[in-house]
């Protein structure tokens, strides 16, 4: 494209976008006034979408007369999303105007879950919570405070608040989401996410549904299409014919859990035919460590011979037998992958890696193809995520917590990627701990997690949870069991910073409260987002700062210093000062760029919403380590070079190899390659780890190199009449809890039937629309069937995006059915009383609601399946599907939580705990990533 109308960082032809020079007064004709030509004037204010993790830029059109947001469109100044959005972006407007949203702080008035609430004030809630948290800290019950986050939507703000409190209280949703994949990537390169350069690839292999959902979906999807437009071939692995698979050149529909077998067959093809990048493998794989374990030769050709020997078992025929995919198809894609050379981009995020036990091997075996082809940090290849991400240094960095929280990091899972969050009810029921103060934020575990009834049992037991606070813009299944429900802003009502690995560059995105920025443009002073948000809706940044201030008003606990203004000591840090400091001091190039437009850095970010820090990051692993970073160096037999110079600090230091130092206290500085000291990868070896010393030393030597093994739903592990249920796929226009408060999205997607192949359906005597029972290990659910050839015969699938429910008619009414919950000891039943109906509200559209269904809440009927290594919940279920009973109705659910306990214990018994397998008396390898890392001495087992 030679000419760009919009000359911003999007670098694409976006003729429909208003030039930024006219963002202060953009004129459009009022469509409602047609045929009259009535002009409306808008102030265009950027912010960041919060409807998935991609953090695309939005541009709010704020009417200069009414002061209301008319619409959201894409922000062409955003380098990641380049002015484009999916349907969920513009639907942010529905969330702002949602008639059912929570507008005021609420306090429980009856029993937990009874649905009785009274309005309270922010002051009362803050003082009560601050006193409770202070007491827990002072009485050394710090492990009783927990913050549990679903979608963080920010880069570290709240983690630093918890660090300021001195607690190891961070809990995330990651182990029900992406831990499987993260583990596989981390084992290879020390960083847990891929950053594929799809746009420049020759061959793209997706084990995901990136053209409709997936991680960084819109930014990646548009680059996949760029790649395809440039001639790239697209291979998609998905048992289901997803919308992404329909765009593929090769749709591979494997038996779930067999993906790694196919990938290893492709790897074997590359190895046996010498089609890999020999120089790259020789220089950048830790093959010497592997050969050393065998005590044999140390020559690269010996390693090549061993590779050929080890992987020869993974023939196309073997892969075909495991996966049910034709030999010919596997051979064809192997040849295609081989033809890509270093322009091979690939991605697996949730999908297969989140479905089965050992799912982490899918990402590990996928990245092995990149590692064989040398397609690592190359144009058209895959970069480690941290190199394509920019995290600025904040105004304060509190120290690492002086404690280890066993409730989130139990010793049975020393190699888990993230907190064992979904086991919380079981760990508390085991008597391992109790919680005094429990926050959830953008998180709805009763609905999202497996085994939701066990969560209800936990939340309704005051001996297990003392005070539960739901921070949420909208009603959800978990919030009904809260003591406090505190209303937080939706995406356009809050501040956050983001940077994600959307392509080979580094950018920083700024989410901001649109109305605050619009009114500031008019010269108003806005001190607090509650002044501009609906009702008393607040934003979390300000909430956490104020809560922290009140926990330690006099500063005696040493906490207050982290939320104190530098400009006006003795007063609480404000939001403008917080972001001003970051933009002034931590973002290279931003002050200069802002000055060129006569703006301060904060004004620049408020005006444009994003800043491109750097393009084309390239091969950081191959950079030479600067001589100033080397002093008194020591090199070990594997080429690891240690130095006495401390690790450099400063903004956005790309992670250097940072595992343990040498015996004399030097830190790892780099890796000797061809006589030069290079930066390498942040792994224990400094190289790409074909051989994982970590797995080997921590009790899993049989898995120390990429391999394939039978999953919990392998054919050999299924019982009589059992089949596999795929339960993980997203619907393109829904996103867990928060999108349900968007009427446009609900109108498009409001049901989740069971996908079933015609041959399978015929055996069951079932047709589309007939009800079926899906029986899991702990109960069943009832759902209509959808007979389709878009699923592998014998496998069934149901999206997890539906089945939202509420206990009374109050609350969200556009996608939450009203249900009756019956409870007899361990046995729980949920039955729909009322579907979705039109209703009267300030929004006339709610009278036009025509859909009645809200789908079924299948996750409730799943027990926990924690992978013994990654800690990932393995979502796929071995189920029996049969025609429904005469009394069954859509959405019916039955569960026995005593059975959930049995399944939990069965999976717990598969672990290899740190106190038996740790090679060095620690709880976890120190080099592995961990949110809110405790101080090093707390890694030691007691």
Distance from C-alpha of 336 to C-alpha of 357, rounded to nearest angstrom? 29
Q: CB neighbours of 771 closer than 8 A, spacing ≥ 6? A: 782, 783, 784, 785, 883, 884, 888, 889, 890
Q: How far is the CB of 490 from ligand SF4 (least distance, A)?
A: 12
Q: How far is the CB of 538 from ligand SF4 (least distance, A)?
A: 22
Q: How far is the CB of 48 from ligand SF4 (least distance, A)?
A: 8
Between residues 90 and 639, which has the closer beta carbon with respect to ligand SF4? Answer: 90
Q: How far is the CB of 448 from ligand SF4 (least distance, A)?
A: 17
Between residues 745 and 928, which has the closer beta carbon with respect to ligand SF4? Answer: 745
Closest CA to 662 of 690, 637, 695, 629: 637
Instruction: Tokens for 528, please give them.
Output: 């607090």
Closest CA to 620 of 121, 195, 303, 278: 195
DSSP E strands, 512-633: 610-615
| 218 neighbors 86 (Cβ within 8 angstroms) | yes
Between residues 80 and 682, which has the closer beta carbon with respect to ligand SF4? Answer: 80
Q: Strand order of the sheet with strand 203-207?
A: 250-252, 233-237, 203-207, 344-348
Distance in angstroms between the alpha carbons of the first and the last residue of the chain: 63
Distance from C-alpha of 875 to C-alpha of 873, rounded to nearest angstrom? 6
Between residues 351 and 918, which has the closer beta carbon with respect to ligand SF4? Answer: 351
The values of phi and psi at residue 217, to 5°, are: -60, -60
Q: How far is the CB of 691 from ligand SF4 (least distance, A)?
A: 37
Q: HSE, CB side, 13 Å, CA atoms: give it for residue 856.
A: 29
DSSP state letters, 36-55 = S--EEEEEEEEEE--SSTT-
Between residues 48 and 693, which has the closer beta carbon with respect to ligand SF4? Answer: 48
User: Within a 10 A sphere around the Cβ of 157, how many other Cβ atoms?
Assistant: 18
Between residues 80 and 190, which has the closer beta carbon with respect to ligand SF4? Answer: 80
Bridge-based pairing of strands 465-471 and 435-441 is parallel
Q: How far is the CB of 209 from ligand SF4 (least distance, A)?
A: 13
Residues binding ligand SF4 (CB under 6 A): 49, 51-52, 54-56, 81, 85-86, 88-89, 217-218
Q: How far is the CB of 90 from ligand SF4 (least distance, A)?
A: 8
Q: How far is the CB of 17 from ligand SF4 (least distance, A)?
A: 15
Q: How far is the CB of 81 from ligand SF4 (least distance, A)?
A: 6
Between residues 56 and 673, which has the closer beta carbon with respect to ligand SF4? Answer: 56
Between residues 47 and 346, which has the closer beta carbon with respect to ligand SF4? Answer: 47
| Total residues belonging to the chain | 942
Between residues 218 and 861, which has the closer beta carbon with respect to ligand SF4? Answer: 218
Distance from C-alpha of 813 to C-alpha of 835, rounded to nearest angstrom? 9
Between residues 49 and 59, which has the closer beta carbon with respect to ligand SF4? Answer: 49
Q: How far is the CB of 460 from ligand SF4 (least distance, A)?
A: 33
- 473 to each of 55, 97, 99, how far by Cα in Å? 18, 12, 12
Distance from C-alpha of 316 to C-alpha of 326, rounded to nearest angstrom? 9
Per the listing, tokens 């959830």 go with 440
Between residues 218 and 870, which has the closer beta carbon with respect to ligand SF4? Answer: 218
Distance from C-alpha of 824 to C-alpha of 115, rounded to nearest angstrom? 20
Q: How far is the CB of 190 from ligand SF4 (least distance, A)?
A: 27
Between residues 56 and 537, which has the closer beta carbon with respect to ligand SF4? Answer: 56
Distance from C-alpha of 636 to C-alpha of 292, rounded to nearest angstrom? 13
Q: How far is the CB of 215 from ligand SF4 (least distance, A)?
A: 10
Q: CB neighbours of 573 closer than 8 A, spacing ≥ 6? A: 395, 545, 563, 564, 565, 566
């Amino acid at each position: 494209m030679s000419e760009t109308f919009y000359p911003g960082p999007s670098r694409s032809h976006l003729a429909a976008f208003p030039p930024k020079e006219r963002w202060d007064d953009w004129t459009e004709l009022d469509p409602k006034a047609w045929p009259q030509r009535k002009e409306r004037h808008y102030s265009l204010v950027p912010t960041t979408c919060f409807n998935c993790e991609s953090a695309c830029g939005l541009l709010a059109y704020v009417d200069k007369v009414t002061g209301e947001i008319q619409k959201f469109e894409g922000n062409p100044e955003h380098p990641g999303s380049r002015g484009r959005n999916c349907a969920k972006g513009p639907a942010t407007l529905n969330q702002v105007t949602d008639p059912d949203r929570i507008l005021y702080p609420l306090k429980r008035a009856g029993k937990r879950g009874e649905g009785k609430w009274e309005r309270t004030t922010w002051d009362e809630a803050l003082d009560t919570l601050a006193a409770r948290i202070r007491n827990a800290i002072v009485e050394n019950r710090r492990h009783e405070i927990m913050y549990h986050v679903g979608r963080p939507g920010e880069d570290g703000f709240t983690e630093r608040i918890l660090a300021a409190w001195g607690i190891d209280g961070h809990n995330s949703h990651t182990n029900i989401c992406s831990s499987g994949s993260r583990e596989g990537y981390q084992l290879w390169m020390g960083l847990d996410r891929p950053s594929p350069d799809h746009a420049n690839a020759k061959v793209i292999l997706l084990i995901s549904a990136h053209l409709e959902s997936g991680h960084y979906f819109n930014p990646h999807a548009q680059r996949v299409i760029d790649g395809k437009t440039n001639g790239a071939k697209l291979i998609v692995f998905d048992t289901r014919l997803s919308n992404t698979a329909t765009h593929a050149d090769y749709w591979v529909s494997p038996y779930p859990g067999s993906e790694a077998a196919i990938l290893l067959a492709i790897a074997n093809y590359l190895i046996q035919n010498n089609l890999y990048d020999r120089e790259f493998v020789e220089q950048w794989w830790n093959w010497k460590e592997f050969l050393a374990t065998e005590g044999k030769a140390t020559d690269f050709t010996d390693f090549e011979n061993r590779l050929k020997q080890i992987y020869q078992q993974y023939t196309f025929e073997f892969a075909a037998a495991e996966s049910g995919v034709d030999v010919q198809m596997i051979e064809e894609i192997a040849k295609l992958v081989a033809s890509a050379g270093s322009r091979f981009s690939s991605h697996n995020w949730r999908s297969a890696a989140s479905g089965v036990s050992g799912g982490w091997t899918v990402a590990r075996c996928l990245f092995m193809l990149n590692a064989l082809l040398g397609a690592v940090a190359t144009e058209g290849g895959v970069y480690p995520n941290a190199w394509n991400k920019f995290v600025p240094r904040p105004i304060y960095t509190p120290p690492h917590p002086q404690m280890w929280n066993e409730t989130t990091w139990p010793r049975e899972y020393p190699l888990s990627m993230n907190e064992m969050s979904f086991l919380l009810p079981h760990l508390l029921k085991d008597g391992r701990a109790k919680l005094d103060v429990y926050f959830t934020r953008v998180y709805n575990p009763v609905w999202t997690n497996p085994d939701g009834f066990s969560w209800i049992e936990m939340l309704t037991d005051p001996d297990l949870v003392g005070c539960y606070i739901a921070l949420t813009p909208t009603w959800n299944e978990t919030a009904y069991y809260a003591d406090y429900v505190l209303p937080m802003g939706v995406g356009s009502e809050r501040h956050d910073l983001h940077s994600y690995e959307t392509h080979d560059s580094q950018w920083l995105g700024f989410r901001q409260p649109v109305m605050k920025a619009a009114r500031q443009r008019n010269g108003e002073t806005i001190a607090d987002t509650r002044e501009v948000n609906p009702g008393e809706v607040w934003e979390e940044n300000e909430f956490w700062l104020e809560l922290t201030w009140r926990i330690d008003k006099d500063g005696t606990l040493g906490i207050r210093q982290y939320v104190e203004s530098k400009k006006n000591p003795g007063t609480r840090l404000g939001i403008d000062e917080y972001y001003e400091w970051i933009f002034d001091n931590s973002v290279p190039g931003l002050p200069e760029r802002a000055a060129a437009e006569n703006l301060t850095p904060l004004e620049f970010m408020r005006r444009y919403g994003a800043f491109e820090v750097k393009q084309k990051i390239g091969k950081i692993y191959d950079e030479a380590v600067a001589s100033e970073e080397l002093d008194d160096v020591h090199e070990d037999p594997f080429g690891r070079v240690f130095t006495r110079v401390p690790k450099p600090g400063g903004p956005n230091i790309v992670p250097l190899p940072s595992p343990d130092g040498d015996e004399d206290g030097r830190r790892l500085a780099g890796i000797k390659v061809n006589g030069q000291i290079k930066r390498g990868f942040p792994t224990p070896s400094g190289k790409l780890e074909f051989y994982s010393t970590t797995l080997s030393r921590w009790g899993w030597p049989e898995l120390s190199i990429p391999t394939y093994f039978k999953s919990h739903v392998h054919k050999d592990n299924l019982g009589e009449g059992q089949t596999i249920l795929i339960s993980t796929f997203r619907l393109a226009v829904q996103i867990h809890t928060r999108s349900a408060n968007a009427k446009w999205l609900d109108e498009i997607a409001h049901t989740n039937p069971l996908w079933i192949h015609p041959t399978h359906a015929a055996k069951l005597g079932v047709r589309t629309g007939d009800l079926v029972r899906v029986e899991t290990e702990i109960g069943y659910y009832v759902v209509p069937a959808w007979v389709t050839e878009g699923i592998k015969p014998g496998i069934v699938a149901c999206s997890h995006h539906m089945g939202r429910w509420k206990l009374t008619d109050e609350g969200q009414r556009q996608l939450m059915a009203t249900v009756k919950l019956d409870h007899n000891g361990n046995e729980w039943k949920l039955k729909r009383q009322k579907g979705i109906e039109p209703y009267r509200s300030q929004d006339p559209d709610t009278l036009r609601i025509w859909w009645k269904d809200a789908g079924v809440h299948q996750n409730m009927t799943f027990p926990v399946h924690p992978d013994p290594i990654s800690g990932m919940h393995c979502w796929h279920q071995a189920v029996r599907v049969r025609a429904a009973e005469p009394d069954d109705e859509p959405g019916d659910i039955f569960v026995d939580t005593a059975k959930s306990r049995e399944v939990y214990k069965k999976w717990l018994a598969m672990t290899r705990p740190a106190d038996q397998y740790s090679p060095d008396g620690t709880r976890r390898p120190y080099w592995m990533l961990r949110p809110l890392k405790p101080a090093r001495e707390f890694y030691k087992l007691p």
